[in-house]
Amino acid sequence: MNLIKPERLKPGDKIGLIALSGAIEDRASVERAVEYFKLKGCDTVLSDNIYDTKRYLAGDDDKKVDELHRFFKDESIRAIVCVRGGYGAIRLVNKINYDIIHTNPKIFCGFSDVTALSLMMYKRAGLITYSAPMVMSDFGLENRSDFTMDNFFKVITKDCEIKLKNEDKIYKNGSAEGILWGGNLATVVSLCGLDFIPDEPFIFFAEDINEQVYKIDKMFTQLFNIKQFRDNIQAIILGEFLDSGNQVWLDELFEEIASTHNIPVVSGFKITHGKDKLTLPIGAHASLIDGELLVK
């Protein structure tokens, strides 16, 4: 399958805001995001289910999928931004018609729980998506991060190389090349049992929040138990693992992974649940040399 890089966002383009995971708890954040995008010259449209609630979910799964299909087929919508993460995306992955996505490619953005959808869109539709800010955590804040906003619009509006230098530790130095692939670690692992791992060499990026070190150990071990993951991973790019409990143990774990699998492992990138976050294209070509990541 040929990879598809969606067209860049242009002034005046319409952005669809969609709820595919957890229920929306703060309507004001959605309203602030709509106003923010308007100031940036972009109209917005809200998914019909955006304020629906079903237990902890943003409404019925089938309705979510229908809205996702509708947004992709709507030629007036040039980008889709997820409202929040939480939980719910993995319930949708086997309900989605990926042919609709493949034949109607456009920018798709989210992180955390949305990682499940991004990775499956790459695998089944060949679409390059974006690990990117969302409404409740970013665009809808009263005090937005200038770093996050500037980086988002730079990446989705311009055809430019992304150069990132690590700002923390290099657990094992070296060079690597492949597609950039990954996201929230717990969500990546939730896809185990599906055909979700790339068939080509990849540089794996990962972050998480509120996961103790033994759980991070377990999740990396589970992935490395998969032959296709072991065969195709070329390096690991680490974002932030917030509130993991024991930084010494976490450092020892990453050193152990680098040594055991003999691959470069580099940390210190703003891939995070924190306020300042990077926007990264999932599926784009990437290379790692001496701690610097170049994404084209």
Are 58 and 169 in a shared domain? no
- Average pLDDT over the chain reads 97
Domain CATH code at residue 142: 3.40.50.10740
Q: Kindly report which listed range (134-143, 160-169, 205-214) carries the lowest average pLDDT score.
A: 160-169
Residue 29: pLDDT band by 50, 70, 90 thresholds? very high
Give a yes or no: residue 227 inside a domain. yes
The predicted pLDDT at position 1 comes to 62
Please check whether residues 266 and 241 belong to one and the same domain. Answer: yes
Q: In which band, very low, low, confident or very high, does the pLDDT at 159 lie, cut at 50, 70 and 90?
A: confident
* DSSP annotation of 191: T
- The distance of Cα 184 from the centroid of its chain, to the nearest Å, equals 7
Percent share of the chain, pLDDT over 70: 100
Is residue 226 assigned to a domain?
A: yes
Q: How many helices and strands (H and E) does the chain possess? A: 9, 14
Whether residues 149 and 57 share a domain: the answer is yes
Domain at 181, CATH number: 3.50.30.60
Task: Classify residue 3: in a domain, yes or no.
Answer: no
Q: How confident is the model at residue 66 (pLDDT cuts 50, 70, 90)?
A: very high
User: Does some domain include residue 129?
Assistant: yes
State whether 268 and 181 are in the same domain.
yes
Structural domain includes residue 6: no
- Give domain status of residue 205, yes or no: yes
Confidence (pLDDT) at 168 = 84
**163 half-sphere exposure, CB direction, 13 A CA radius:** 2
Cβ-Cβ contacts under 8 Å for 111 (sequence gap 6 or more): 85, 131, 132, 133, 134, 183, 184, 273, 277
140 shares its domain with 69: yes
What is the span of the domain harbouring residue 144? 14-157
Q: State the total domains in the chain.
A: 2
Q: Rounded CA gap, 115 and 29, in Å?
A: 21
Higher pLDDT among residues 207 and 161, named by residue:
207
Query: Are 29 and 106 found together in one domain?
Result: yes
208-254, pLDDT tens digit by residue? 999 999 999 999 999 999 999 999 999 999 999 999 999 999 999 99
Residue 4 covered by a domain: no
The last residue of one of the domains, among 157, 190, 223, is: 157
Percentage of residues in the chain having pLDDT higher than 90: 96
In a domain, 175, yes or no: yes
229: left (phi over 0), alpha (psi -120 to 50) or beta: alpha
Are residues 175 and 287 both part of a single domain?
Answer: yes
The answer to whether residues 78 and 191 belong to one domain is no
Same-domain pairing of 96 and 140: yes
119 and 197 inside one domain? no
Do 23 and 124 have their domain in common?
yes
User: 116, 18, 131, 15: which is closest to 64 by C-alpha?
Assistant: 18
Q: pLDDT (tens digit, 9 = 90+) per residue, 257-267?
A: 999 999 999 99
Mean pLDDT within 275-279: 98
DSSP states along 117-168:
HHHHHHHHH-B-EEE---IIIIIT-SS--HHHHHHHHHHHHS---EEEE-SS
Count the Cβ atoms, other than its own, within 10 Å of residue 120: 24
Question: Of the candidates 157, 179, 206, which is a domain's last residue?
Answer: 157
The last residue of one of the domains, among 157, 184, 218, is 157
**Percent composition of the chain: helix, strand, coil (DSSP 3-state, to 5):** 35, 25, 40
41 and 80 share one domain: yes
